[in-house]
């Protein structure tokens, strides 16, 4: 058994709404989380953080390590008694250890977050006093609730929302169990962005991407195109200052002409140029204007994005092209072809799961895009009973088969951010809970 280390300080969490130590048989908790039979011990002291040390079986990580729970954070607090409720988060830190045969001691080499586990269901609440002075509260929580583990798969996914990365927003998102944020603020001086990054770092939150959004690279006025290119350059510079490595970009849109219904599309395109040859089976003459506009958008967007690649490379920020309702690249294969056509690691795909459900199932998009995906938006869409049309709905209430999506994300090796877009009808805690379930493959 790996000896316990008493000399490594507990990691403090000065920003959580609840932090303390549990005088309870912590092994039962970790056994419930990890499904291992090894005994675990731990304790909690006033003002500290939950801490447990022990041995983890080699079949889990193929080596010995220490596992430490560095804090437990509650979703809400009472005025006098802080409560542990549904939505509480347990963060676990894995400390890899080297083994010295001669002395029988272990040497901690490095740390790595195992992940966050959230109490998914709990009947009633526990006061802080109950948690601090006995094992009944936690034992009850585990008995009547369950913990959603985020590591059933090879790939680890992290949780985020979209918003302004200021202190109040970051604190609220963090309290709900999110790990980071996608900033929709992009027109900002680098110094201001750096100040926001400092706040995020203090809160152990990550500003992982910047949403530049829609541009007009296919506009007939070259001055408009030039202005939008400069705006993306500014967004890339802001992203670098934020500490983000991705800028979300929508190159352009088309409209005002006859366009097929989503279920009518049957696209064929030229493998060399990416130009569309047909959009429906049979007679395409009614859609001649649309095909022409689509091909112009392809050429104009490629030209603009190619100009931006050196800027992206300079700042180490990826241009992530998103699939949106812009009437362009509406099928998986043509969108994947366009993204791949740049042949650059600085141009990849920002895949929005819900946006194109009405054109093709997410399974087809994931299989077509594969390793091109650098970020994912989590969104749901409910198809009409006939499969034609529908509406956006809160996540896990639509037609997306989330267990299948999670499995495919794992198969393509995606290990990154899952950022909820929409679902504003749900409060932060509920959005976080549902995303936990999605990440868990449920």
What is the pLDDT at residue 46? 28
Answer yes or no: is pLDDT of 435 > 80.
yes
How many alpha carbons lie under 13 Å from residue 324 in its C-beta half-sphere?
Answer: 16
Mean pLDDT of 66-86: 38
Judge whether 284 and 294 are in contact, CB under 8 Å.
Answer: no
From 155, 184, 161, 157, select the one nearest 174 (Cα to Cα): 161
Q: For residue 287, give the nearest of 267, 265, 263, 260 by alpha carbon.
A: 260
Residue-wise pLDDT for 409-427, tens only, equals 999 999 999 999 999 999 9
User: What pLDDT, on the 0 to 100 scale, is given for residue 153?
Assistant: 87
Question: What number is the average pLDDT over the span 273-277?
Answer: 96
Specify the CATH architecture of the domain 158-439: Alpha-Beta Barrel (3.20)
pLDDT tens-digit profile of 83-139? 334 344 444 444 444 433 333 343 433 444 444 444 333 233 333 333 333 333 333
pLDDT digits (tens, 9 = 90+) for 253-268: 999 999 999 999 999 9
Phi and psi, residue 378, nearest 5°: -100, 115
pLDDT digits (tens, 9 = 90+) for 4-46: 333 333 333 322 222 222 223 333 443 344 333 332 223 222 2
Q: What is the pLDDT of residue 299?
A: 96
- Asked if 318 and 347 count as a contact pair (C-beta separation under 8 A), the reply is yes
Q: What is the domain partition of the chain in residue ranges?
A: 26-148, 158-439
Structural contact between residues 74 and 59, judged by C-beta atoms closer than 8 angstroms: no
**Predicted confidence (pLDDT) per residue in 146-195, tens digit:** 333 444 688 999 999 999 999 999 999 999 999 999 999 999 999 999 99
What's the pLDDT tens digit per position in 281-335? 999 999 999 999 999 999 999 999 999 999 999 999 999 999 999 999 999 999 9
* DSSP output for 244-294: --EEEEE-----SS----GGG---EE-TTT--EEESSSS--GGGHHHHHHH
Question: Is 90 exceeded by the pLDDT of residue 62?
Answer: no
Interatomic CA distance for residues 309 and 315, integer angstroms: 10
pLDDT at 276: 97
What is d(CA 39, CA 20) in angstroms, rounded to the nearest whole number? Answer: 22
- Residue labelled with tokens 């989380």: 33
- Quote the DSSP letter at residue 19: -
User: Where residue 364 falls among pLDDT bands split at 50, 70, 90?
Assistant: very high
Per-residue pLDDT at 239: 97
Token pair listed for 390: 């529908």
Partners of 90 in the β-ladder: 72, 117
User: What CA–CA distances, in Å, run from 345 to 46, 212, 240, 308, 408?
Assistant: 49, 19, 16, 13, 22
Query: Hunting for tokens 């990550």 — which residue is that?
Result: 206
Position with higher pLDDT, 85 vs 223: 223
Q: Which residues contact 294 (CB under 8 A, 6 or more apart)?
A: 254, 276, 279, 327, 328
pLDDT at 429 over 50: yes
**Cα(63)–Cα(373) distance, rounded to whole angstroms?**
31
The pLDDT assigned to 146 comes to 32
Confidence of residue 66 (pLDDT cuts 50, 70, 90): very low
Higher pLDDT, 104 or 208: 208
């Amino acid at each position: 058994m790996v000896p316990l280390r008493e000399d490594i300080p507990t990691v403090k969490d000065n920003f959580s709404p609840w932090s303390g130590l549990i005088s309870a048989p912590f092994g039962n908790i970790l056994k419930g989380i990890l499904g291992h039979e090894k005994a675990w011990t731990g304790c909690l002291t006033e003002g500290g953080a939950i801490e447990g040390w022990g041995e983890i079986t080699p079949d889990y990580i193929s080596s010995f390590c220490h596992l430490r729970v560095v804090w437990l954070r509650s979703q809400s607090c009472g005025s006098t008694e802080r409560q542990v409720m549904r939505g509480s988060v347990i963060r676990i830190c894995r400390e890899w250890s080297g083994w010295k045969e001669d002395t029988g001691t272990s040497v901690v080499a490095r740390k790595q977050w195992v992940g966050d586990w959230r109490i998914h269901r709990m009947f009633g609440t526990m006061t802080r006093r109950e948690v601090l002075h006995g094992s009944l509260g936690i034992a009850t929580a585990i008995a009547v609730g369950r913990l959603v583990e985020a590591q059933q798969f090879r790939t680890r996914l992290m949780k985020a929302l979209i918003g302004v990365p200021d202190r109040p927003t970051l604190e609220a998102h963090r309290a709900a169990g999110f790990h980071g944020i996608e900033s929709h603020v992009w027109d900002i001086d680098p110094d201001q962005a750096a100040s926001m990054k400092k706040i995020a770092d203090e809160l152990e939150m990550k500003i992982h991407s910047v949403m530049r959004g829609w541009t007009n690279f296919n506009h007939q006025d070259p001055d408009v195109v030039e202005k939008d290119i400069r705006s993306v350059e500014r967004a890339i510079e802001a992203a670098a200052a934020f500490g983000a490595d991705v800028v979300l970009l929508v190159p352009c849109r088309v409209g005002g002409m006859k366009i097929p219904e989503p279920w009518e599309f049957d696209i064929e395109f030229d493998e060399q140029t990416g130009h569309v040859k047909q959009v429906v089976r049979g007679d395409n003459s009614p859609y001649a204007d649309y095909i022409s506009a689509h091909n112009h958008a392809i050429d104009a967007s490629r030209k603009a994005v190619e100009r931006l690649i050196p800027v992206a490379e300079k700042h180490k920020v990826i241009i992530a092209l998103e699939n949106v309702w812009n009437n362009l690249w509406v099928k998986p294969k043509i969108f994947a072809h366009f993204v791949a056509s740049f042949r650059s690691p600085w141009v990849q795909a920002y895949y929005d799961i819900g946006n194109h459900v009405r054109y093709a199932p997410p399974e087809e998009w994931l299989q077509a895009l594969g390793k091109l995906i650098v970020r994912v938006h989590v969104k749901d869409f409910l198809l009409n009973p006939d499969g034609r049309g529908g509406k956006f709905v809160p996540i896990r209430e639509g037609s997306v088969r989330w267990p299948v999506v999670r499995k495919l994300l794992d198969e393509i090796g995606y290990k990154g951010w899952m950022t909820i877009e929409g679902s504003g009808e749900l409060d932060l805690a509920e959005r976080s809970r549902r995303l936990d379930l999605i990440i868990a493959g449920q």
